Structure 1
Amino acid sequence: MNGQLPVATPAEVRAAAIRDLGADRRAVAGIILVNGLAAAAGLVAPWLLGRIIDTIRAGDGNVLGAVDRLAFGALVFTVVQTVLSWWALKIGYRFGERTAARVRERFLNRTLALPPRSADHLPAGDLIARGSTDASLVASTLRSAVPEVLVAIVHALFLIVAVLVLDPRLGLCGIVCLIGVAAAVRWYVRRARPAYLAVAATGAELADAVAGTEKGARTIELLGLERRRQEVTENAITRARSARLDALWLRTVLFPWADISLALPVVGVLLVGGALYFNELVSLGVVVTATVYLRQLVGPLDTLMLWIEQLQGAGASYARVEGLADLPAENHAAAPTRTIGDRIQVTNAHYSYTGARDVLRGIDLQVQPGERLAIVGTSGAGKSTLARLLAGLDRPHTGSVTIGGTPVAELPPEQLREHVVLITQDHHVFHDTIRDNLLIAKPDASDAELYAALTAVGADVGADGWNELDRQIGDDLDDASAQQLSLARVVLANPHTLILDEATALLDPKTARRTEQSLAGVLRGRTVIAIAHRLQTAHDADRIAVMEAGQLVELGTHDELVRADGVYGRLWRAWHAE
């Protein structure tokens, strides 16, 4: 993967749209049927208007009574058309809401199914933009476009057919005058897709620049990179502005051209109809009726023109949302029918983030059940990368990382949690109840199990609101409480192996002490692999693995490695000398 999410092709977007329409085909059929009835009812009033004109000109019999009956009929059919149009829009908007929900859920499911090793290397702004801006545009378009476009198409077709039936000469004249509209649409559509894709892509780039700056704010301030990040953001804003102006220029050409073209059918029919009337080839009522029909045609065609413009932007967003379907699926091994054991084995593991250079080379390591292993080394030695391989978040390019002989990265997520869990300083609390935050780890857990998990990590279930499992939580939790909640999930998942990577690094000393006390309850009776940033942690471990430049260079107990006077011995003496 090249760091950018794929974009669906026009054929893939059409296929997805057809599937979404087919998933609710009864509603689509209802929209078309009711709109057809509404359009048919809408044709009656102009026809009756023409009859009124011809009746008045003829002046035969009870003209006033005939006109009253015709006018009453026009009123009735206008009311019928209004009611049917309202009913059709109601059906259409409900269809749109259901379809928009399906699109959002499909995007969410595809996002959650992304392999962690792939998701970690994607620009956060691109994924955020697709899940927020693009998905919202697709959803709002589906809510409104399907009913309004179908209404406009059905009405336009009925009006064109009505003019042709009324008088083929006037009908053909009106159709010929629509060539200008067709030319404007063709010119616009050929240029709109790349323009709107550029708008979406530059918007995602801007979001990524802002998100990256926010996420790395401390590092940026520490290294004095404010000006560089400002330049990156300003460049992204410039590109986004340029892309939007290009799309705006297309609209400034389309709409004036379309407005002029939409007036031509009425003008043409009035000129041709007037000539036919003066030559007594058609009645005045027919000319008026044809003119009213074509004047009414401006409404649905204008709606279609507006939606053609909006659908180009929505189509580009739809392509970005559906692009996740082109990502390779995560392939997990079938769940073993036997107990796979809890022995972790790393054999000749090599790993590279980019494929250009290995950051881990030839790692061989066996972790015994119940052992406490510390992994030490200088910054950049490969400690955290090895932790990700052990946790199944990445897989080696060559060699293997297995649990009981089964590759860790191929275990299904729900089974992987039962064996190994990586705990970092990053923890997430969902804006939901305490209960739902905990049930993520074990959906069938009872309340007693939830309370026991909270107690195990040092949470006072008799105070601080922990006893209210249905209490809504979110940003109101402090760091220690949020970490306790995360650790309680670990207790519920009950893995045999825990990997610790700076679990308390970002906490203040008081909070860190509380969290370490919580950790003690979680670690009891489990295999523990700790990325040791303080050598005191390594001193207390059963064994110590020393990393240097992506290789495992030493392995043994604290006393053995100090006596060997190698890399660890030098680190230990330097740490004690401080």
Structure 2
Amino acid sequence: MIRALATALGPAHAAPLRRLLVLTAAAAAAQGLAYALLVPLLYAVLGSRPAGALPWLAAFAAAVAGYGALTWSAQTRAFRLGSDVARALHHRLGEKIIELPLGWFSPARTGQLSRLAGQSVPQLMNVPAHLLRPVVTAAITPAVVAVTLLVVEPRLGAAVAVTVPLLAVVLRAADRAVARADADRHRRADEVAARLVEFAQAQPVLRAYGRTAREHRLLDDALVAQAAADRAMLRHVIPALTGFGFAVRALLGGVLLAGTNLVLGGSLDVPVLLAVLVLTVRLTEPLGTAAEYGAALRLANGRLSTLDDVLTAATLPAPDQPRTPRSAEVVLDDVHFGYDGRPVLAGVSFTLPERGMTALVGPSGAGKSTVARLLARFWDVDAGAIRIGGVDVRQMATADLMSRVAFVFQDVYLFDGTLAGNIRLGRADATDEEVRAAAAAAGLGDLLDRLDDPVGEGGTALSGGQRQRVSIARALLKNAPIVVLDEATAALDPETAAAVQTAVHALARRTTLLVIAHRLETVRAADQILVLRDGVITERGRHDDLVGAGGTYASFWHDRTAAEGWRLVG
């Protein structure tokens, strides 16, 4: 556990953790030494010459003073290190998050990360601050006392020395029971966290269809499963901890009975028996708390294991010598890709020319958004290559790739800040005038006097169409040489969509523009249209040519034209 925590903290904080461990062990040894000195002290006090106890009393006082000084120093360091642990783990988690491929993130992972940052890290903070000292004491102090017992009264000492390893076995079994139950409980808690986030975000839809919490089956099932996991944990933990506590107290009772029998038989002096009983009590006391703190440490170890899974998650390989593209032309060369063994793209090849608009259309699930995400290197292709200006995106530095590409995806997230602040995410150093110009070009002219207003968490103060226009404004403000619009006009009203179309055509004259859309009016003026179906490009050309060819695109177009002929009358 300590080694794993030191690894998770990194070299800068691992050394203070090890120093704390040594200091805590020294304090526990000093405590054990103080207990050991009670034997000659009590023997002298209860003997015929009580004055002979003074040297032992001085030695006992020195041991207690040393224990006090070491404990104070260790505990002070422990509290300070606990704060450092929380800060270091949050920083490492944040640094890892920005290194992970964007395809790693999912709703389930979002719930897991929320629990890691909000619950697991504070629990791990308790390891040095509150758990380390009692656990180390439970291991070292009884060992010192057991050795003293062997010296003072070998017969009883041998009995204790044999019993302590058995107690360790019982404790280990208890810890394993806790670990098994906690692992399942942890998984269930992650599921509940993800479902709660989903439930909160889906309130407009659920209420529109009259769905209540009871009728939201996914959340209800997750909560029931977590409750079952909690009960299972209690069924495993309570018997284990109770059994260990009984075994510890049985050890004390056994020593008392055996010692009394030896005294009655005349082979053991009463002062020695009293000293042995004092030592045994001092031995069993930290052992009695070992189960409780050991279980807490085991739970913390489960949290650390989950954190380690995130910290060690595979990142996309970075090039040793990054290359810089010489242009903004994008080429997909025989690209193959799939999710979890399910093929999505099977040999896709096309070119996105500079200063031109390319439209990618096709049925739902054909892999259009996957193409955009591969260009952003959410994942690496399974085979083939994606090149920008002749350079494979895998040979580009991540920061360089992101600086060259601007994206507007279907799912838009706004931060809990001002409207201007969310637009400025496209370029942090943009002036106020540049922000206003981007907002106007994206069809946000009706909100120009509200740029300093808060948008709420997730942009709840704006409509869906307004949030999408903010995302378009970000892309315009970024002024990247490559722009990808994935259903950028899906949630826009016709008037705003027309304004955005004007901005799109302006973009096409100065950028490499890829537009993915189901609304074919958006792509009609494209320089080239690509039809993606069954993982391959089946058609390519301009609008009029593809309509005349009578293929998939023509079918889409005729269906759209027919749908536009419908009118609601009343």
- TM-score range, shorter-chain basis? 0.7 to 0.9
What does residue 541 of structure 1 align with? 526
Q: Distance in 2 between matches of 1:129 and 1:183?
A: 32
Alignment of 1:262 with 2:268, yes or no, is no
1:23 aligns with 2:32: no
Counterparts of 1:436 and 1:295 in 2: how far apart (Å)? 64
Q: Identify the residue that residue 458 of structure 1 maps to in structure 2.
A: 439
Measure the CA separation in 2 of the matches of 1:23 and 1:438.
43
Residue of structure 1 in register with 2:318 after alignment: 332
Residue number among 542, 556, 559 corresponding to 1:557 in the alignment: 542
Please state whether the residue corresponding to 1:202 is helix, strand or coil.
helix
Give the SS at the match of 1:99. Answer: helix
1:292 aligns with 2:284: no
Residue 250 in structure 1 maps to residue 236 in structure 2 = yes
Q: Alignment partner of 2:46: what SS?
A: helix
Indicate which of 163, 166, 169 corresponds to 2:152: 166
Deviates further, 158-167 or 37-46: 37-46
Q: Could you tell me which amino acid in structure 2 is paired with residue 561 of structure 1?
A: L
The answer (yes or no) to whether the contact 1:456–1:518 under 8 Å persists in 2 is no
Partner of 1:525: 510
Per mean C-alpha deviation after superposition, the further-off stretch among 153-162 and 34-43 is 34-43
Alignment of 1:182-197 (within 5 A): 182-197=168-183
2:387 to 402, 407, 410: 402
Shift of 1:43: 5.0
Contact 2:33-2:63 at 8 Å conserved across structures? no
| Bigger mean CA deviation after superposition, 316-325 or 453-462 | 453-462
Q: How many angstroms does 1:566 deviate by?
A: 4.2
Residue in 2 that maps onto 1:7: none
Q: Distance in 1 between matches of 2:324 and 2:477?
A: 22
The answer to whether 1:495 aligns with 2:466 is no
Q: Give the AA of the match of 1:166.
A: V
Q: Distance in 2 between matches of 1:230 and 1:465?
A: 37
Report what 1:3 is aligned to.
Answer: none
Shift of 1:415: 1.1
CA–CA distance in structure 2, aligned partners of residues 237 and 304 of structure 1: 32
1:78 CA displacement: 5.7
Tell me the CA shift for residue 301 of structure 1: 0.9
> What is the rounded CA distance, in whole Å, between the counterparts of 1:288 and 1:479 in structure 2?
77
SS in 2 for 1:380: coil
CA distance in 1, matches of 2:252, 2:438: 78
Do 1:547 and 1:554's aligned partners in 2 also have CA atoms closer than 8 Å? yes
Q: For the structure 1 residues 244 and 116, does the alpha-carbon distance in structure 2 shift closer, same or farther, using more than 3 Å as the test?
A: same
Deviations 1:424-451 (A, max 9, x none): 2434445689999789767xx65xx454
Partner residue of 2:568? Answer: none
Identity of aligned residues (%): 24
Segments of structure 1 that go 5 or more residues without pairing to the other structure are 1-9
Query: Cα distance, 1:253 vs. partner?
Result: 1.9
One-letter amino acid matched to 1:52:
V
Alignment match of 2:357 (pick from 369, 372, 379): 372
> 1:112 aligned to 73, 93, 98, which one?
98
SS class of match (2:354): coil
- The residue that corresponds to 2:293 in the other structure is 307
Cα distance change, pair 71–42 in 1 and its aligned pair in 2 (3 A): same
TM, length-normalised to structure 1 = 0.78
Root-mean-square deviation over aligned CA pairs: 4.5
Structure 2: gaps of 5 or more residues: 565-570
Q: What is the count of residue pairs matched by the alignment?
A: 554
1:36-55 equivalent positions in 2, closer than 5 A: 36-41=29-34, 44=37, 48-54=41-47
- Which residue does 1:421 correspond to in 2? 406
- The answer for the alignment partner of 2:567 in structure 1 is none
Once the 2 structures are TM-superposed, how far is the Cα of residue 498 of structure 1 from its aligned partner?
0.6
TM-score (norm 2): 0.79
Residues 492, 186 of structure 1: alpha-carbon distance in 2 compared, 3 angstrom cutoff: same
For residue 418 of structure 1, give the secondary structure of its aligned residue in structure 2: helix
Note the C-alpha offset of 1:416.
0.9
- 174-183 or 156-165, which deviates more: 174-183
Write the distance in 2 (CA, Å) between the matches of 1:316 and 1:276: 47
Q: 1:530, CA displacement in angstroms?
A: 1.5
Q: What are the Cα deviations for residues 344-377 of structure 1, in whole angstroms up to 9, with x where unaligned?
A: 1123333333434x43344332211111222233
Closer/same/farther in 2, CA of residues 34 and 546 from structure 1, 3 Å limit: same
Give the counterpart letter for 2:101 in structure 1: P
- Aligned with residue 341 of structure 1, among 327, 332, 335: 327
Query: Alpha carbons of 1:162 and 1:219: their partners in 2 closer, same or farther (altered >3 Å)?
Result: same
Aligned to 2:131: 145
Query: Does the 8 Å CA contact 1:181/1:258 hold for their aligned counterparts?
Result: yes
* Post-superposition offset of 1:238: 4.3
Give the alignment partner of residue 322 of structure 1, picking from 308, 315, 333. 308
